[in-house]
A and B are shown apart, each in its own frame.
Chain A
């Protein structure tokens, strides 16, 4: 976030000139306020970056551990590198307001991104490395949805609306 955002939240006009008609104490307070807001926005950005980094690390491990067939002893398919790459792409496209998902291997050879609230409120986005996002979710008792959407430059509105269902 830029300091511009911090300025927009500042209730007092802040200028560098000393003739603002504001007392030095309240000017100091304004500066302090801007510093705090800037620091908060920087920290938010830092935390998003660290969350993305953590997600990428998880995907790297997942790629190493689950890259051979039958990793579960029940005939699970290996997870291809392409699927991990698509998962990274999706995570980068994720708007800030959504939490980071749990990253899990799926027996279908896909990377699963799971948003879980409770057993009846859960969304699973799956990436197989073929240019599609597959979704399956429960949004209340007996209220289910599943399907797929092509991966594009931005997250599909359908996916966004499903994410809203599992975001408190």
Chain B
């Protein structure tokens, strides 16, 4: 009886990395879910960092020791697919945990789902919140090269004209096309279609 208990403690210790508070230099990310979250020059606006009106905190993910592909996988599997009102992931904003501590904010490292944390301890005044969010935005770096694709496709191949007719939804974003030559399509979309046709 003792062994399972020890094992369970060991496993809980092993799995507790993301239930501890992040160190100053640890990288954290917030996903952009609205086109206005970032400016044309790729800098962040305060919106994505503002605490949710529903829960009073800001949802973020810890991206320490993770490959880029898996960060985008989180954005699609844990963010896009779990909220009916998020239509698209536009990118992500990375920043160091210190940026949060500098604003007298804290992390709730709940690790639910895996790697998730909430930014808490926001002041109650909306303008004070916005001012802190502006400062976090200024310190963050935008990335938009989403490499993780999920898609549904309805495609017909017009043999005589060598054209594809169909509709593909990639990462929740409708990129429908009609009568477009296969070679005109973006490489990642072509790959998605080929995989779909293979299945």
Which positions in A face B, CB cutoff 8 Å?
70-77, 102, 104-109, 114, 116, 118-120, 122, 124, 126, 134-138, 144-148
Give me 9 other A-B pairs in contact (C-beta within 8 A), A75-B52, A107-B47, A116-B39 excluded.
Answer: A71-B85, A73-B33, A74-B83, A74-B86, A75-B54, A75-B55, A77-B53, A136-B127, A138-B134
Q: Given the known A-B contacts A134-B126, A144-B131, A146-B130, are A76 and B86 also in contact in the complex, defined by CB atoms under 8 Å?
A: no
Q: Report the 3 A-B pairs with minimum CB-CB distance, sorted nearest first.
A: A73-B86, A75-B54, A73-B85
Chain A residues in 8 Å Cβ range of B85: 70-73
Give Cα distance in the complex from A23 to B86, angstroms: 72
18 contacts between A and B (CB under 8 A): A71-B85, A72-B34, A73-B33, A73-B83, A74-B33, A75-B52, A75-B54, A105-B47, A107-B47, A114-B45, A118-B43, A119-B43, A119-B138, A122-B134, A124-B130, A136-B127, A136-B131, A146-B128
Contact B55 A146 (CB under 8 A): no
Interface presence of B100 (CB below 8 A): no
Give per-residue flags for B74-104: 1 if the beta carbon is below 8 A from chain A beta carbons, else 0: 0000000001111100000000000000000
Contact A144 B134 (CB under 8 A): yes
CB distance from B31 to the nearest CB of A (A): 10
Interface size on B, residues (CB 8 A): 29
B58 to chain A: closest residue by CB: A74
Chain A residues in 8 Å Cβ range of B87: 73
Contact B45 A146 (CB under 8 A): no
CB distance from B57 to the nearest CB of A (A): 11
Chain B residues in 8 Å Cβ range of A74: 33, 52, 54, 59, 83, 86
Among B39, B46, B86, B130, point to the contact of A72 (Cβ < 8 A). Answer: B86
Contact A126 B34 (CB under 8 A): no
Which positions in B face A, CB cutoff 8 Å?
33-34, 36, 39, 43-47, 50, 52-55, 59, 83-87, 126-128, 130-131, 134-135, 137-138
Chain A residues in 8 Å Cβ range of B45: 104, 114
Contact A138 B55 (CB under 8 A): no
Among A105, A114, A120, A146, point to the contact of B131 (Cβ < 8 A). Answer: A146
A141 to chain B: closest residue by CB: B138
Contact B39 A136 (CB under 8 A): no
Chain B residues in 8 Å Cβ range of A145: 131
CB distance from A74 to the nearest CB of B (A): 5
Give Cα distance in the complex from A114 to B45, angstroms: 10
Chain A residues in 8 Å Cβ range of B59: 74
CB distance from B110 to the nearest CB of A (A): 17
Chain B residues in 8 Å Cβ range of A136: 46, 127, 130-131, 134
Chain A residues in 8 Å Cβ range of B137: 119
Give Cα distance in the complex from A6 to B142, angstroms: 48
Q: Given the known A-B contacts A71-B34, A71-B85, A72-B86, are A120 and B138 also in contact in the complex, defined by CB atoms under 8 Å?
A: yes
Chain B residues in 8 Å Cβ range of A116: 39, 43
CB distance from A57 to the nearest CB of B (A): 16
CB distance from A134 to the nearest CB of B (A): 5
Give Cα distance in the complex from A147 to B33, angstroms: 27
Chain A residues in 8 Å Cβ range of B53: 75-77, 107-109
Give Cα distance in the complex from A106 to B50, angstroms: 9
Give Cα distance in the complex from A71 to B85, angstroms: 6
Contact B50 A108 (CB under 8 A): yes
Give Cα distance in the complex from A28 to B59, angstroms: 70
